[in-house]
Structure 1
């Protein structure tokens, strides 16, 4: 079968399988981002009904956080073993507790183009069918050194054990549960979008329709990206600032969702990317 050479430069068209029941090409489109529908990762809530039954009885976000982190620690063995337990374990078991959703998010906060970032982007591929467009370098024609590096890092054994994708599935569903409960200030159970901002220096290559200088344009963002809650916070990260209406159903982490220091930025929102209609301004 002949392949249009233009499609080799459009990774998001390579395949479209996912676990959320919306075609991947539609899920990554500006049309979906303008008119989103709720998403759910197939089988996640059904496999962990006890957690979500507990969450429904929580009185506030703090209590829900305790329930979530306690459940994850038990279900995935995330508690660090004490000295006596470590001595009774083999070398592989001693490393098992290192693979956790929290360490991945902390790794993303340090460097979104590091190994932890690759694993998170790989999870988005697996669950939502959205192919990344950047990891250390633009991911365009395949094969290429950039693609080889990404593929090696997203499957690195250091993070790909202890059912890490299942941990991230639960993190996503916990976030969506909290948003539907209105636990993020300014968001109601009926809200479909969050008004967020993103600072960037690599803008011209992201524009797929319109011009930055005209303020309104369509940009292609990576399959997982960080946003800020204010334009001022976003301006720290680039010369251009995009104002974006991000679907609530695409949010993975919002400030205050999780206890302790998780991401580097206190006002950082982690959400799925795709094609977004944005309002751009030069910072």
Structure 2
């Protein structure tokens, strides 16, 4: 036996146990995809079975060169697959279901998030992230201190009520994420990360895991967060700018993905976990 050979140990988990679930519906467990190592060395994330189940969509998209034409093809496919223009055929006839539930779809969720990420749509999207990626929400209209807390139970109830009796809403969100990943690959074929920004007033608005010095920190983000690709836009929302190198697989959707999707200019909605970030005053 070579005494000079050192046993290679896996890096310690950087995602706290109370920020993750033991199972998810993704090709990587939460302890990995939510870790600092994943931010530094990302690999593609795939939701269970989605690309295979919707293979016809991606065969349709493959020969289309223009982003706007692909976006229209995607929206047409989703409308047809989920009967969004024929909700009575989907079993959501009037009198059976409240109007808000009948009209709940992936676009309304995205727009609701942009209007108020702590509203019902925000709760639905954060619950979706918990289910698909196994990352627990840390904040919703206030800190979520433990899964047995009153705040967390209210958040769960709001998200559950928002999903109840909707038209396969979680499946629509699965397809939205998968399409977003397809489009990001078309736009950034040689890149693994995007530099994204948030305007903040204090770094302690976030959960700091480690202070590295030189304006760098390791933080635990909420399981879903808004960023912008515009540094100037971020500067309008705080005295400091938080800069994160975000892995492309952690981008759920962004405002230019579909026409009129979000009201926020250059907004990106990003799955959380542990990130190393820097703070700038410029």
> So what's the TM-score if we normalise by structure 2?
0.86
1:52 corresponds to: 58
Residue 239 and residue 248 in structure 1: after superposition, are their counterparts in 2 closer, same or farther (change >3 A)?
same
Residue pairs, 1:51-70, within 5 angstroms: 51-70=57-76
Give, in angstroms, the shift of residue 266 of structure 1. 1.8
Indicate which of 151, 167, 170 corresponds to 2:175: 170
Pair 1:91-2:91 in alignment: no
- How far apart, in 1, do the equivalents of 2:217 and 2:279 lie? 8
- How far apart, in 2, do the equivalents of 1:196 and 1:274 lie? 15
Give, in angstroms, the shift of residue 30 of structure 1. 1.2
The secondary structure found in structure 1 opposite 2:161 is coil
Residue pairs, 1:262-277, within 5 angstroms: 262-277=261-276
- How far apart, in 1, do the equivalents of 2:202 and 2:167 lie? 35
Aligned residues: CA RMSD: 2.3
Q: Which moved more, 1:51-60 or 1:152-161?
A: 152-161
Q: In 2, are the aligned partners of 1:223 and 1:274 still within 8 Å (CA)?
A: yes
Indicate which of 127, 132, 146 corresponds to 2:132: 127
Q: Structure 1 unaligned runs (5+)? A: 1-8
Cα offsets for 1:168-224 (capped at 9, x unmatched): 010011111111112xxxx2x12110011112246314211006x730111111111
Give, in angstroms, the shift of residue 157 of structure 1. 4.0
1:18 corresponds to: 24
Give, in angstroms, the shift of residue 237 of structure 1. 2.2
1:279 corresponds to: 278
Residue 221 and residue 152 in structure 1: after superposition, are their counterparts in 2 closer, same or farther (change >3 A)?
same
Q: In 1, are the aligned partners of 2:255 and 2:263 still within 8 Å (CA)?
A: no
Cα offsets for 1:78-130 (capped at 9, x unmatched): 22779xx9xx9441267364010000011101100000000000000111111
Q: In 1, are the aligned partners of 2:120 and 2:162 still within 8 Å (CA)?
A: no
The secondary structure found in structure 2 opposite 1:181 is helix
1:257 corresponds to: 257
Q: In 2, are the aligned partners of 1:20 and 1:40 still within 8 Å (CA)?
A: yes
Bigger share in helix: 1
Pair 1:234-2:234 in alignment: yes
Residue 209 and residue 282 in structure 1: after superposition, are their counterparts in 2 closer, same or farther (change >3 A)?
same
- How far apart, in 2, do the equivalents of 1:236 and 1:223 lie? 24
1:193 corresponds to: 193
Q: In 2, are the aligned partners of 1:99 and 1:159 still within 8 Å (CA)?
A: no
- How far apart, in 1, do the equivalents of 2:93 and 2:46 lie? 37
- How far apart, in 1, do the equivalents of 2:184 and 2:58 lie? 14
For these two proteins, the number of residue pairs brought into alignment is 263
- How far apart, in 1, do the equivalents of 2:18 and 2:202 lie? 18
